[in-house]
């Protein structure tokens, strides 16, 4: 064997031995024992060991290598020294520093290892870095230094050790914020104290002119704010002109506000005057006032009196000529609302039996402090009375009433319904005019002079339009204050009713001239049946949409309901309905659940089906409304026109019929409350019963057209000599037994004559249309009114109520097309054109099935297809073209009104597949 061969063999043996030794070491240590030569790979081998502080393994791997601890990896570009300082791996940090790493190396965000150690409270690592001369003044990209990081997290102990290295404790970050700013904001009391003790400036502001006190108050840090005040912090506005108190109120930080008032009692007036701020956070402001009321009874009275004084001030500015009307109206009503709500809260905590006189309503069951609380408002109510007298006087004295009170371009009542001011209310108002003055900087300007100037200059300014919103807003505030002190047994304050009656003609004139003030300010009509009748003719004359908006505005006053379920309901809140027993299970669910709960959150799921949401809810209402009309339950009978229904006078064949009628009323009320349409149409007379409107003889035609014609005939002709021999009684078939029923007491002995025939027709109409089904109507209304108050629904007529309950009865294809969107298709694609061709050929029933298939409802809402709603609010009908495959059917996502239409090869195929889908899949849900 040659020498070269022997040397090669010896080298291979050595390599094998080294490999075996390397293998054994790796297996015994359960890790690699040789660092990769590539720096990036080496970093990721070492990083987990550094995080776990496995310093022996790190030392072993770094031995006899030229790996640089300064190498940064990843998006943050952090090196192993950063990692060790961040995780508190002290031994690894020492090892890396000895290897010569740069102690001030910055990562991508500009943070040094010292920053990371300070942020995470790694005290030993921080001291070691300082030992290696780490620079405490280096700033991150955001301008943060080490003391900022310590202050952010309240590392007071470490801050004490570090301050000996820091020359400027007020060093600012990129926004001009000091360590004291961030410590105050985060509520670190000891850190704030430490910084101040070491010379931090308590009044140093950032670039937005915000001091540490502003930071503490804007984040509700009561304790740090108190420390700052005790150390001499100035109470001044920030750069946006907001004081620390205003910042605390904006956040709803009640305890911080309480502390500020305790430290600076003169701030109370500033707190109360905040009610005038146009951008006031109302919920938070009220939260603060309510908290203060509960904490201190003396402050409770002061708050109420203060709000009353503010209401007087704002009200008088509103009644001045040169005020900012929208702003003042908003401020006045807000002030009155807060005062009344706080007063009612305080009354709940008052001991019973307290004597006192109510300054507004005259009741004696009020708090003894009521007089002091409300007495200031008497100045405003007196001014309101004087204004109305001035208007009355001006109306009577005006020579050109038509020009002065020319109606605006809005629907108003007929001329006969607009009241004329009589001379009875004419008083000597001249002496009142001078007292109603502007208190603006322009000087005192009596309203009478304003009127005179307008008339002398011949300006075409609408005086009523100028003064009406102002006066009506003050009237609304007056009602709120009266109502909050009215005995619960009384529906309306006697004083307020007397006020309206006293100024009846002027108020009606104002409302007739500018009817929108009813919706803006006369909400009291809904609470006062005594007053509603006086204005009902004006309310009903307003556009349907305006009344509908007012209906839902008052039905949902707290906006606690909507057409969308924002959060998944709890399982216990879901109405689980069995399809095979839809009527019974629905009845059980509605009657057992509290209506208040169903108003706030309504979720429906069919038993053993996955789907839940708006589409399922719509289908439930749709199918349930048809099931209620099922003849098997004998609740409703079909009318003579074949398409509408009314209560069955013989429904008592079903022993539970009255409970079922109450259930039907609840179902309809719940649907109307949640703006869901029903697949049911009733007779006009039944809608009238819901509205509380008397029926007339023409309504009889819906159940007996021939009899209605006979009633019409006797009204149109003289019956004196016809020998009809009619009395005020009729014979009625009750389950096969004829019974005589008197229309009035002793009616069988009272003959019908030419002079009393109209009374007879009305009474016999009421018998057929009302008395015969009175128990059924009352049970239905008991359920309906649990969701819909009579005071709200009465503003509509029977045709409008039908629109709100059932939508449009006909489907307009052109309207459908015009309000369809296309998700993944162009309107001119062949399959889209074929689809509309097919739809136009469908029968009315098939169109209804298609609408139900895609939207879950068989009805179009009032306003047409543009008003369709989906799971996220308004949602138009949508078509999306999907991939074609043989025999595939169209599908739908009802929550978003989406039709998924395969790209069929021909119109005939599309027609065939659509018909199959409609007949087999218009009901039922699964998860898409």
Is 897 in contact with 880 (CB distance < 8 Å)? no
CA distance 140 to 118: 13
CATH number where 857 lies: 3.30.2410.10
pLDDT at 824: 64
Active-site residue numbers? Answer: 895
Q: Please, which pLDDT band fits residue 321 given cuts at 50, 70 and 90?
A: low
In Å, how far from its chain's centre is CA 271? 27
Q: Which residue has the tokens 């009521």?
A: 370
pLDDT at 364: 38
CA distance 860 to 848: 9
User: What's the angle, vertex CA 617, arms to CA 614 and CA 620, rounded to 5?
Assistant: 150
Higher local confidence (pLDDT), 750 or 511: 750
> Is the model's pLDDT at 30 over the cut of 60?
no
Higher local confidence (pLDDT), 510 or 408: 510
Give the three-class secondary structure for 352. Answer: coil
In a domain, 606, yes or no: yes
Helix (H) or strand (E) holding 126: helix 123-131
CA distance 200 to 140: 21
Pairing of strands 898-902, 869-870: unpaired
Count other Cβ atoms within 10 Å, centred on residue 490.
Answer: 12
pLDDT at 886: 84
Higher local confidence (pLDDT), 161 or 451: 161
pLDDT at 847: 86
Q: Please, which pLDDT band fits residue 811 given cuts at 50, 70 and 90?
A: confident
CA atoms within 13 A on the CB side of 40: 4
> Is the model's pLDDT at 155 over the cut of 90?
yes
Q: Which residue has the tokens 């009733």?
A: 682
Q: State which of 346-350, 381-385, 539-543 shows the largest mean pLDDT.
A: 381-385
> Is the model's pLDDT at 362 over the cut of 90?
no
CA distance 729 to 749: 9
Same domain, 441 and 462: yes
CATH number where 747 lies: 3.30.2160.10
Q: What percent of the chain has pLDDT over 90?
A: 36
Give the C-alpha distances (Å, rounded to integers) separating 143 from 161, 162, 174, 181, 593.
22, 18, 5, 14, 58
Same domain, 599 and 704: no
Alpha helices (H) along 572-683 = 582-592, 595-600, 614-628, 657-673
pLDDT at 81: 95
Same domain, 396 and 321: yes
Q: Give which of 688, 640, 634 is closest to 664, Cα–Cα.
A: 634
pTM above 0.85, yes or no: no
Q: Give which of 562, 621, 547, 563 is closest to 589, Cα–Cα.
A: 621
DSSP3 helix / strand / coil % (the chain, rounded to 5): 55, 5, 35
> Is the model's pLDDT at 276 over the cut of 60?
yes
Same domain, 523 and 454: yes
Same domain, 762 and 822: no
Q: What integer is the mean pLDDT of 388-409?
A: 62
Same domain, 756 and 710: yes
Q: Please, which pLDDT band fits residue 420 given cuts at 50, 70 and 90?
A: very low
DSSP 226: H
Is 96 in contact with 81 (CB distance < 8 Å)? yes
CA distance 382 to 323: 19
pLDDT digits (tens, 9 = 90+) for 851-904: 878 886 666 776 788 888 765 567 888 998 888 888 889 988 877 888 999 999
Higher local confidence (pLDDT), 808 or 552: 552
CA atoms within 13 A on the CB side of 208: 13
In a domain, 620, yes or no: yes
Weakest mean pLDDT among 37-46, 352-361, 651-660: 352-361
CA distance 924 to 606: 8
Higher local confidence (pLDDT), 235 or 401: 235
In a domain, 850, yes or no: yes
DSSP 485: T
Same domain, 395 and 317: yes
Q: Give which of 745, 786, 779 is closest to 599, Cα–Cα.
A: 786
Q: What integer is the mean pLDDT of 36-43?
A: 89
Same domain, 683 and 717: no
Q: Is the CA virtual torsion 484, 485, 487, 490 positive or negative?
A: negative
pLDDT at 782: 94
CA distance 6 to 22: 24
Same domain, 865 and 884: yes
pLDDT at 232: 95
pLDDT at 797: 87
In a domain, 77, yes or no: no
Sequence-separated (6 or more) residues with CB below 8 Å from residue 177: 148, 206, 215
Higher local confidence (pLDDT), 236 or 457: 236
In a domain, 79, yes or no: no
Q: Give which of 825, 783, 585 is closest to 668, Cα–Cα.
A: 783
Structure tokens at 299: 């402050």
**Which residues constitute the domain of residue 639?**
571-695+777-804
Q: Which residue has the tokens 């006053």?
A: 557
pLDDT at 151: 94
Q: Which residue has the tokens 């007339």?
A: 696
pLDDT at 862: 63
pLDDT digits (tens, 9 = 90+) for 503-512: 888 888 888 7
Weakest mean pLDDT among 24-33, 629-638, 781-790: 24-33
> Is the model's pLDDT at 455 over the cut of 60?
no
Same domain, 652 and 757: no
pLDDT digits (tens, 9 = 90+) for 608-624: 887 777 888 888 888 89
Alpha helices (H) along 319-405 = 325-348, 370-374, 377-397, 401-404
> Is the model's pLDDT at 33 over the cut of 60?
no
Same domain, 598 and 523: no
Is 493 in contact with 501 (CB distance < 8 Å)? no
DSSP 702: G
Q: Please, which pLDDT band fits residue 368 given cuts at 50, 70 and 90?
A: very low
Question: Rounded to the nearest 5°, which phi and psi values hold at 638?
Answer: -75, 140
In a domain, 410, yes or no: yes
CA distance 363 to 355: 10
CA distance 465 to 459: 14
- Give the DSSP letter string of 503-523: THHHHHHHHHHSTHHHHHH-T
Please tell me the total count of domains within the chain.
4
CA distance 308 to 375: 8
Weakest mean pLDDT among 167-171, 315-319, 863-867: 863-867
CATH number where 684 lies: 3.90.1750.10
Structure tokens at 444: 């005192």
pLDDT at 735: 62
In a domain, 683, yes or no: yes
pLDDT digits (tens, 9 = 90+) for 725-740: 888 888 876 666 777 8
pLDDT at 219: 96
In a domain, 582, yes or no: yes
Q: Is the CA virtual torsion 330, 331, 333, 334 positive or negative?
A: positive
* Rg from Cα positions in the chain: 40
The residue length of the chain stands at 928
Same domain, 594 and 716: no
Weakest mean pLDDT among 80-84, 120-124, 177-181, 364-368: 364-368
Per-residue HEC secondary structure of 813-836 comes to HHHHHHCEEECCCCCCCHHHHHHH
């Amino acid at each position: 064997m040659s020498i070269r061969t022997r040397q090669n063999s010896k080298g291979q043996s050595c390599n094998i031995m080294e490999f075996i030794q390397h293998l054994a070491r790796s297996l015994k240590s359960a890790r690699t024992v040789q660092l990769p030569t590539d720096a990036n790979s080496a970093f990721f081998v070492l990083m987990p060991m550094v995080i776990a502080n496995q310093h022996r393994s790190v030392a072993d791997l770094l031995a006899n290598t030229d790996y640089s601890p300064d190498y940064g990896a990843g998006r943050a570009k952090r090196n192993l020294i950063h990692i060790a300082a961040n995780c508190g791996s002290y031994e690894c940090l020492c090892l890396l520093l000895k290897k010569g790493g740069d102690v001030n190396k910055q990562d991508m965000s500009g943070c040094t290892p010292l920053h990371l150690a300070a942020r995470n409270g790694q005290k030993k690592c921080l001291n070691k870095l300082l030992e290696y001369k780490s620079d405490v003044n280096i700033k991150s990209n955001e301008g943060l230094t080490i003391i900022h990081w310590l202050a952010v997290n309240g590392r007071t102990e470490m801050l004490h050790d570090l301050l000996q290295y820091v020359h400027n404790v007020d060093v600012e970050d990129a926004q001009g914020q000091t360590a004291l700013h961030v410590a105050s904001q985060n509520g670190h009391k000891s850190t704030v104290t430490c910084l101040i003790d070491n010379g931090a400036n308590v009044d140093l502001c950032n670039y937005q002119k915000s001091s540490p006190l502003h930071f503490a108050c804007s984040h509700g840090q009561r304790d740090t704010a108190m420390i700052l005040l005790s150390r001499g912090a100035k109470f001044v506005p920030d750069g946006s002109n907001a004081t620390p108190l205003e910042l605390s109120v904006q956040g709803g930080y009640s305890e911080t506000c309480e502390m500020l008032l305790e430290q600076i009692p003169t701030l109370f007036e500033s707190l109360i005057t905040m009610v005038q701020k146009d951008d006031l956070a109302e919920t938070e402001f009220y939260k603060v006032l309510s908290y203060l009321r509960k904490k201190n009874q003396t402050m409770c009275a002061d708050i109420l009196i203060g709000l009353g004084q503010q209401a007087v001030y704002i009200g008088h500015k509103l009644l001045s000529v040169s005020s900012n009307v929208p702003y003042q109206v908003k401020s006045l009503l807000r002030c009155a609302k807060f005062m009344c709500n706080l007063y009612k809260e305080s009354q709940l905590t008052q001991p019973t039996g307290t004597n006192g006189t109510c300054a507004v309503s005259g009741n004696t069951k009020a708090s003894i402090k009521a007089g002091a609380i409300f007495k200031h408002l008497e100045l405003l109510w007196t001014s309101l009375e004087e204004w109305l007298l001035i208007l009355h006087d001006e109306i009577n004295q005006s020579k050109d009433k038509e020009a002065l009170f020319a109606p605006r371009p809005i629907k108003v009542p007929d001329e006969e319904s607009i009241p004329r001011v009589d001379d009875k209310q004419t008083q000597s108002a001249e002496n009142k005019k001078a007292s109603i003055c502007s208190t603006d900087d322009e000087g005192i300007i009596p309203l009478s002079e304003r009127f005179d100037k307008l008339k002398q200059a011949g300006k075409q300014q609408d005086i009523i339009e100028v003064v009406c919103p102002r006066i009506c807003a003050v009237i609304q505030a007056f009602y709120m204050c009266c109502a909050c002190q009215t005995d619960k047994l009384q529906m309306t304050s006697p004083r307020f009713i007397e006020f309206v009656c006293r100024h009846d003609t002027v108020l009606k004139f104002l409302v007739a001239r500018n009817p929108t003030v009813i919706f803006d300010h006369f909400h009291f009509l809904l609470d006062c049946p005594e007053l509603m009748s006086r204005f009902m003719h004006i309310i009903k004359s307003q556009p349907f949409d305006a009344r509908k908006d007012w209906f839902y505005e008052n039905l949902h006053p707290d906006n606690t309901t909507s057409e969308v379920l924002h959060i998944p309901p709890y399982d216990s809140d879901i109405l689980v309905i069995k399809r095979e027993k839809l009527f019974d299970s629905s009845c059980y669910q509605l009657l057992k659940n509290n209506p208040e709960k169903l108003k706030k959150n309504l979720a429906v799921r069919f038993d053993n089906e996955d789907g839940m949401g708006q589409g399922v809810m719509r289908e439930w209402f749709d199918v349930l409304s048809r099931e209620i009309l099922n003849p098997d339950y004998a609740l409703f009978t079909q009318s003579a026109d074949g398409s509408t229904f009314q209560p069955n006078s013989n429904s008592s064949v079903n022993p539970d019929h009255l409970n079922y009628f109450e259930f039907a009323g609840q179902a309809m009320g719940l649907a109307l409350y949640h703006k869901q349409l029903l697949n049911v149409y009733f007779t006009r007379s039944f809608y009238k019963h819901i509205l509380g409107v008397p029926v007339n003889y023409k309504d009889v035609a819906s159940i007996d057209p021939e009899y209605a014609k006979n009633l019409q005939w006797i009204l149109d002709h003289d019956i004196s000599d016809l020998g009809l021999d009619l009395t005020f009684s009729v014979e009625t078939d009750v389950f096969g037994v004829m019974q005589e029923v008197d229309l009035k007491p002793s009616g069988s002995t009272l003959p019908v004559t030419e002079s009393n025939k109209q009374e007879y027709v009305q009474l016999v109409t009421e018998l057929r249309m009302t008395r015969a089904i009175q128990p059924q109507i009352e049970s239905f209304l008991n359920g309906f009114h649990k969701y819909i108050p009579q005071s709200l629904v009465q503003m509509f007529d029977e045709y409008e109520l039908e629109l709100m309950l059932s939508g449009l009865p006909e489907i307009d294809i052109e309207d459908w097309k015009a309000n369809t969107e296309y998700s993944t298709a162009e309107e001119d694609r062949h399959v889209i054109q074929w689809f509309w061709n097919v739809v136009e050929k469908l029968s009315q029933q098939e169109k209804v099935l298609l609408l139900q298939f895609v939207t879950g409802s068989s009805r179009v809402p009032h306003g047409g297809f543009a008003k369709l709603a989906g799971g996220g609010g308004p949602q138009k009908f949508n078509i999306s073209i999907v991939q074609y495959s043989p025999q595939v059917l169209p599908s739908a996502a009802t929550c978003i009104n989406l039709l998924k239409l395969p790209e069929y090869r021909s119109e005939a195929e599309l027609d065939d597949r659509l018909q199959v889908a409609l007949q087999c899949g218009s009901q039922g849900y699964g998860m898409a």
